[in-house]
């Protein structure tokens, strides 16, 4: 331990300077050993059918073109999947494998040339004739085709349905009920760094520099697709410009670059355009959700029902489990949740930040606001009244649960008491003013992880794991953890990430990164610390050799035994080989009984104030505050950034994001950042977050809980509820748009 512990400090990002100076190298910027060729993907322009003919002659003759891959000449790859591989991100994903088109935007050709521009131009010269087939791409018109996903391909984290008691009877008997239908939109991750890869072969061995959240899964998927031993694939991904779930798996540009580089015996770079990422990296499926709440007049819930229909595809099932948080958030004796899917001829859904919770809580927490209004109860109090004392569906205690504290402290800091009591009753000039609240819940996870820590003769400790930093602050928090565990100052710690040569981690996903990689790093450093102390005492030539003092410590980089002290470097330099190394690990949830014995989640409360233009219906967020309980906070600065980033995405779900399907093509028509709206600075005036103190030693040795995805959970509902409070108009189809709001605005 250091004199001043680093964990808990708002340390600046270790990689911040590299990023703002351009010294952090992203996949597409990596310099290959020899000049690379550039690949460009040609996407399909039908939703379903066959390639009847494809003419590549003009493209092949175009200047600078080296190779045009289509299904006719693509090198052999494994078939897809198989779907029974439970980890979808480790499945084989062949491209250009046959003449089938399964969704709009699926790659039908890959053109490789001396420059990006030449490849892109040549791709435009490829002529494709399609034999289109009858397609299904309209979710809202196809809801009657929904089916129940079963077994392992249910692709969720939990059973598809849950039933406790008799919710229909509770609804029939209750004096107050709220039953409504809601719709949420298709959403796309839109990481700042589009998906990109550089593939280099050395004989039969492939090195793939690629932008990925999970090095080990990507390695497995590449090896499976290319039918080669995993050991022959190296994945390198030290810097990742955002992921949000869209980089959990391997994508077309990486597989196609690898295939082309092997054919050409030359490095190949490929990136998706922004437009291509709308159809080639997965999306959050739109959903129709029906929520029914039954309550006593005093506001005690007697029944909760949450019914979800979302989109999947015939070729790979993905069920976004939007009703998952409903199983845990509130007490009620009668409960039912179910998930159904409609298979459309579109790109499939994939995890998008807080898969399930984000669209599920947008709806559930709107429904709770509707119930509070129907009952005439303050929505903060309604939530507090229905606080369960154990997990309402699993029956086990919570590892920690401070939702009530978040609601109360958040309300006090926000000034909730000043909320307009009657919707549509407060004006500030031309603005109608409203406040909204919602609860947040997100599961706390951990996955099996390994790390190494090595002390060298210079006194530097190098920590390694294949964990990634996707912009969240992983380099920084792992540095803090390692420094404290070893008792070494920050500037003697070097954290190296994102390389499949390093010990295996689950990568960045599910908000488990800090707990998993962090616990493995802590374990490695604890073991290295013991090894250093042991060597200091026992290695010949060590300045502390033969020390018998019972007090042994490392503090601020100084090794002390009894009354003698020395530096780390002087110990390491006397060890054979000049270094000391230790391996650390942590078990995953399946091997951690605390995940069976306790219900583990992070909690929070969101508060929002909006202004709605009384004449035009324009909605402006005025301020937003989040209160969160997440166990120990490793770094308040990076943690706060995670929370407010998520909160802003929730704002976006409520007011902006909507990938619109053209049912004639199964295409998102607004597939760029001009037409697909996300909040910009002007939309985000005053957003803040704070953490309530909480201890939770159940999930991991660090005492932390998942935070990355908690911020988006429920924040959209707080905004929507504020819009209702401002106007008295309840919009149940998200995003809330002017045309839905205008007809109901109060007349003035
Ligand atoms: Mo997250 S949707 O697991 O990146």
Split at pLDDT 50, 70, 90, the class of 85 is: confident
pLDDT of 729 strictly over 80: yes
Average pLDDT of the residues in 597-624? 98
Res 746: pLDDT: 87
Q: Flag the least confident range among 67-76, 220-229, 284-293, 315-324.
A: 315-324
Res 154: pLDDT: 55
- Catalytic residue flag (residue 675): no
Cα 726 from Cα 735, distance rounded (Å): 17
Closest atom, ligand 1, to C-alpha of 353: 2
Cα 666 from Cα 177, distance rounded (Å): 38
Cα 467 from Cα 479, distance rounded (Å): 13
353 CA from centroid of ligand 1 (Å)? 5
The reply to whether ligand 1 has any atom less than 6 angstroms from the CB of 243 is yes
What's the pLDDT tens digit per position in 470-523? 999 999 999 999 999 999 999 999 999 999 999 999 999 999 999 999 999 999
3-state secondary structure (DSSP) of residue 744: helix
The reply to whether ligand 1 has any atom less than 6 angstroms from the CB of 245 is yes
Say what the pTM is. Answer: 0.97
What's the pLDDT tens digit per position in 346-392? 999 999 999 999 999 999 999 999 999 999 999 999 999 999 999 99
Res 155: pLDDT: 55
Question: What mean pLDDT is reported for the chain?
Answer: 96
- Report the residue among 88, 509, 713 best suited for mutation to probe ligand 1: largest number of ligand atoms under 8 A from its CB: 509
Closest atom, ligand 1, to C-alpha of 355: 2
355 CA from centroid of ligand 1 (Å)? 7
Res 156: pLDDT: 64
The reply to whether ligand 1 has any atom less than 6 angstroms from the CB of 352 is yes
The reply to whether ligand 1 has any atom less than 6 angstroms from the CB of 351 is yes
The reply to whether ligand 1 has any atom less than 6 angstroms from the CB of 353 is yes
Closest atom, ligand 1, to C-alpha of 247: 4
- Report the residue among 211, 351, 516 best suited for mutation to probe ligand 1: largest number of ligand atoms under 8 A from its CB: 351
Residue 349 DSSP symbol: B
70 CA from centroid of ligand 1 (Å)? 32
Closest atom, ligand 1, to C-alpha of 509: 3
Q: Which of 444, 359, 406 is closest to 715 using CA atoms?
A: 359
3-state secondary structure (DSSP) of residue 676: coil
The reply to whether ligand 1 has any atom less than 6 angstroms from the CB of 282 is no
The reply to whether ligand 1 has any atom less than 6 angstroms from the CB of 510 is yes
The reply to whether ligand 1 has any atom less than 6 angstroms from the CB of 716 is no
Specify the higher pLDDT residue, 86 or 198: 198
pLDDT of 291 strictly over 70: yes
Cα 30 from Cα 154, distance rounded (Å): 38
What's the pLDDT tens digit per position in 687-728? 999 999 999 999 999 999 999 999 999 999 999 999 999 999
- Report the residue among 510, 513, 710 best suited for mutation to probe ligand 1: largest number of ligand atoms under 8 A from its CB: 510
The burial of 374, by beta-carbon neighbours within 10 Å (0-12 exposed, 13-18 middle, 19 or more buried), is given as middle
48 CA from centroid of ligand 1 (Å)? 28
245 CA from centroid of ligand 1 (Å)? 4
90 CA from centroid of ligand 1 (Å)? 15
Closest atom, ligand 1, to C-alpha of 470: 4
- Report the residue among 249, 281, 353, 707 best suited for mutation to probe ligand 1: largest number of ligand atoms under 8 A from its CB: 353
CA distances from residue 442 to 286, 327, 348, 630 in whole angstroms, order as listed: 20, 12, 24, 10
516 CA from centroid of ligand 1 (Å)? 15
Q: What angle do CA 366, 306, 171 make, to 5 degrees?
A: 95
The reply to whether ligand 1 has any atom less than 6 angstroms from the CB of 244 is yes
709 CA from centroid of ligand 1 (Å)? 8
Number of Cα atoms under 13 Å in the Cβ half of residue 575: 23
Residue position matching structure tokens 């939703």: 47
214 CA from centroid of ligand 1 (Å)? 10
The string of DSSP codes covering 643-672 is HHHHHHHHHHHHHT--B-EETTTTEETT-S
Res 672: pLDDT: 96
The reply to whether ligand 1 has any atom less than 6 angstroms from the CB of 240 is no
The reply to whether ligand 1 has any atom less than 6 angstroms from the CB of 506 is no
Res 150: pLDDT: 82
CA distances from residue 217 to 90, 184, 317, 349, 521 in whole angstroms, order as listed: 5, 30, 18, 18, 20
pLDDT of 2 strictly over 90: no
Closest atom, ligand 1, to C-alpha of 510: 3
Residue position matching structure tokens 């100052």: 489
Closest atom, ligand 1, to C-alpha of 352: 2
Q: Are 158 and 595 in contact (CB under 8 A)?
A: no
Split at pLDDT 50, 70, 90, the class of 82 is: confident
Q: Are 7 and 83 in contact (CB under 8 A)?
A: no
- Which is the catalytic residue, given 350, 450, 609, 709? 709
Element (H, E) at 496: strand 493-496
What's the pLDDT tens digit per position in 136-174? 999 999 999 999 998 655 556 789 999 999 999 999 999
pLDDT of 83 strictly over 80: no
Phi, psi of 5 (to 5 degrees): -60, 140
Cα 63 from Cα 281, distance rounded (Å): 30
Closest atom, ligand 1, to C-alpha of 709: 1
Instruction: Please give, one letter per residue, the 3-state secondary structure of 352-419.
Output: CCCCCHHHHHHHHHHHHHHHHHHHCCCHHHHHHHCCCCCCCCCCCCECCCCHHHHHHHHHHHHCHHHC
673 CA from centroid of ligand 1 (Å)? 21
289 CA from centroid of ligand 1 (Å)? 22
- Report the residue among 88, 241, 244 best suited for mutation to probe ligand 1: largest number of ligand atoms under 8 A from its CB: 244
The reply to whether ligand 1 has any atom less than 6 angstroms from the CB of 720 is no
Q: Are 571 and 542 in contact (CB under 8 A)?
A: yes
The protein residue with its alpha carbon nearest to ligand 1, atom 4, reads 245
The string of DSSP codes covering 190-244 is --SS--EEEEEEETTEEEEEE--S-HHHHHHHHHHHHT--GGGEEEE-S--S--T
Closest atom, ligand 1, to C-alpha of 246: 4
């Amino acid at each position: 331990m250091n004199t001043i512990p680093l964990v808990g400090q708002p340390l600046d990002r270790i990689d911040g300077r590299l990023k703002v100076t351009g010294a952090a190298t992203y996949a597409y910027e990596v310099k290959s050993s020899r000049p690379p060729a550039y690949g460009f993907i040609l996407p399909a322009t039908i939703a379903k059918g066959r390639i009847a003919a494809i003419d590549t002659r003009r493209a092949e003759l175009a200047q600078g073109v080296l190779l045009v891959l289509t299904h006719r000449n693509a090198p052999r790859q494994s078939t897809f999947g198989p779907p029974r591989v439970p980890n979808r991100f480790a499945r084989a994903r062949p491209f250009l494998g046959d003449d089938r088109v399964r969704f709009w935007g699926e790659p039908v050709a890959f053109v490789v040339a001396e420059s990006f521009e030449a490849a892109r131009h040549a791709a435009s010269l490829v002529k494709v004739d399609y034999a289109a087939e009858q397609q299904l791409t309209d979710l809202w018109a196809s809801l009657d085709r929904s089916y129940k996903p079963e077994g392992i391909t249910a692709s969720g984290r939990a059973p598809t349905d849950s039933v406790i008691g008799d919710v229909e009877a509770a609804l029939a008997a209750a004096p107050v009920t709220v039953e409504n239908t809601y719709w949420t939109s298709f959403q796309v991750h839109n990481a700042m760094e589009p998906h990109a890869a550089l593939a280099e072969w050395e004989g039969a061995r492939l090195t793939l520099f690629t932008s990925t959240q999970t090095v080990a899964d990507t390695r497995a998927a590449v090896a499976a697709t290319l039918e080669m031993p995993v050991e022959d694939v190296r994945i390198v991904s030290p810097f990742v410009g955002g992921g949000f779930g869209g980089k959990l798996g391997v994508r077309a540009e990486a597989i196609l670059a690898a295939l082309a580089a092997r054919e050409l015996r030359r490095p190949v770079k490929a990136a998706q355009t922004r437009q291509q990422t709308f159809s080639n990296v997965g999306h959050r499926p739109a959903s129709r959700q029906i929520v029914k709440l039954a309550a006593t007049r005093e506001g005690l819930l007697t029944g909760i029902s949450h019914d979800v229909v979302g989109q999947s595809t015939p070729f790979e099932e993905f069920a976004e489990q939007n009703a998952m948080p409903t199983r845990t958030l509130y007490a009620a004796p009668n409960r039912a949740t179910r998930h159904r899917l409609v298979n459309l001829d579109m790109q499939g859904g994939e995890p998008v930040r807080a898969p399930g919770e984000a669209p599920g809580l947008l709806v559930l927490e709107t429904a709770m606001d509707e119930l509070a209004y129907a009952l005439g109860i303050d929505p903060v109090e309604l939530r507090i009244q229905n606080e369960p004392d154990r997990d309402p569906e699993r029956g086990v205690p919570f590892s920690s649960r401070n939702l009530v504290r978040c609601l109360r402290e958040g309300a006090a800091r926000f000034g909730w008491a000043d909320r307009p009591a009657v919707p549509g009753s407060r004006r500030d000039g031309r603005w109608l003013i409203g406040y909204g609240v919602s609860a947040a819940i997100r599961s706390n996870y951990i996955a099996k992880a390994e790390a190494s820590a090595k002390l060298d003769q210079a006194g530097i400790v190098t920590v390694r794991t294949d964990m990634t930093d996707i912009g969240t602050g992983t380099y920084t928090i792992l540095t803090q953890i390692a420094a404290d565990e070893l008792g070494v100052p920050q500037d003697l710690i070097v954290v190296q990430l994102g390389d499949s040569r390093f010990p295996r981690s689950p990568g960045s996903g599910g908000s488990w990164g800090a707990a998993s990689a962090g616990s493995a790093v802590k374990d490695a450093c604890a073991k290295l610390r013991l090894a250093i102390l042991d060597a200091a005492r026992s290695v010949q030539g060590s300045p502390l050799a033969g020390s018998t003092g019972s007090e042994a410590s490392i503090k601020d980089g100084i090794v002390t035994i009894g009354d003698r002290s020395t530096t780390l470097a002087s110990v390491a330099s006397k060890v054979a080989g000049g270094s000391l190394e230790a391996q650390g690990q942590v078990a995953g949830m399946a091997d951690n009984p605390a995940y069976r014995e306790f219900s583990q989640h992070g909690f929070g409360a969101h508060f929002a104030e909006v202004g709605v233009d009384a004449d035009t219906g324009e909605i402006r967020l005025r301020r937003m505050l989040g209160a969160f309980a997440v166990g120990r906070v490793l770094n308040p600065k990076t943690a706060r950034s995670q929370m407010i980033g998520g909160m802003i995405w929730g704002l976006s779900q409520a007011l902006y994001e909507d990938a619109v399907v053209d049912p004639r093509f199964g295409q998102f028509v607004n597939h760029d950042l001009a037409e697909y709206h996300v909040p910009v600075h002007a939309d985000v005036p005053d957003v803040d977050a704070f953490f309530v103190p909480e201890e939770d030693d159940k999930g991991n040795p660090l005492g932390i809980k998942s935070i990355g995805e908690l911020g988006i959970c429920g924040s959209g509902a707080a905004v929507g509820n504020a819009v209702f409070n401002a106007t008295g108009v309840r919009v149940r189809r998200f995003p809330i748009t002017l045309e839905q709001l205008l007809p109901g605005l109060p007349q003035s």
